[in-house]
């Protein structure tokens, strides 16, 4: 890992950053045209040039981040295709690629989405603490009104339950499972019932079971809940 970082630093020394190159050119322009700039017009031009340069640099970073994320996902899925039973091998093959996206492109869309995807991978491979850390980080990337925000909370609640952090899971589930704007509510209700079961709150568990039973019969966990209640009666 250290060798990779050293090589990367060498590459950066050989290939000047686009934004630094542009800034240097803008500075040279200012030095060569200082009289015009002092007059005001040049200052407006210079500001416009710098803004355009920043946007070009940001777009380049977005494009590169998206490419790196695609490469990491491709490695993961191709490795998994070779042996669908060995998700650990797929994770190991793609791990460095995902960490590069998260480390170097965290401010880009690819970096933000990559955080969620990588968190999902950590969850699927039993790395619950890492998954929780990434989901919690991802929540800071998006506004609470964003459509993806409740999905991050949904995944985070599953990670909490898997890690036996039941009290933390309850904070999310007791709010989101009953929210009128909530997503996957029947799923969250079932997960909430599971948490109450693990904590020994069978009365609350059964209350939620009955809520699920009286709801949509096409819900994912409807049959499971219905069978459990029929055995209790």
Residue ranges and CATH numbers for the domains of the chain are 62-141 (no CATH), 148-233 (1.25.40)
CA distances from 176 to 163, 198, 221 (A): 19, 19, 17
Residue 166 makes CB contacts below 8 A (sequence gap 6+) with: 160, 195, 198, 199
The pTM of the whole model exceeds 0.95:
no
The answer to whether 114 and 72 are in contact (CB under 8 A) is: yes
- Note the pLDDT tens digit of each residue in 126-180: 999 999 999 999 999 988 888 888 888 988 999 999 999 999 999 999 998 888 7
- Note the pLDDT tens digit of each residue in 84-141: 899 999 999 999 999 999 999 888 888 888 899 999 999 989 999 999 999 999 999 9
């Amino acid at each position: 890992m250290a060798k990779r970082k050293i090589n990367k630093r060498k590459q950066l020394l050989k290939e000047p950053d686009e934004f630094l190159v542009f800034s240097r050119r803008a500075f040279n322009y200012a030095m060569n045209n200082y009289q015009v700039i002092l007059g005001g017009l040049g200052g407006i031009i210079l500001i416009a040039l710098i803004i355009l340069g920043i946007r070009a640099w940001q777009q380049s970073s977005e494009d590169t981040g998206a490419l790196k994320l695609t490469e990491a996902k491709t490695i993961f899925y191709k490795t998994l295709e070779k042996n669908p039973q060995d998700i650990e091998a797929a994770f190991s093959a793609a791990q460095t690629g995902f960490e590069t996206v998260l480390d170097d492109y965290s401010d880009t869309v690819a970096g933000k989405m990559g955080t969620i995807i990588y968190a999902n991978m950590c969850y699927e491979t039993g790395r619950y603490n890492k998954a929780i850390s990434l989901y919690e980080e991802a929540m800071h990337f998006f506004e609470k009104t964003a459509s993806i925000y409740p999905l991050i909370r949904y995944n985070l609640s599953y990670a909490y339950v898997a890690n036996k952090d039941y009290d933390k899971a309850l904070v999310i589930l007791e709010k989101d499972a009953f929210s009128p704007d909530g997503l996957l509510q029947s799923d969250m209700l079932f997960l909430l019932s599971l948490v109450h079961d693990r904590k020994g709150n069978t009365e609350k568990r059964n209350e939620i079971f009955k809520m699920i039973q009286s709801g949509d019969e096409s819900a994912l966990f409807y049959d499971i809940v219905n069978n459990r209640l029929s055995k209790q009666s």
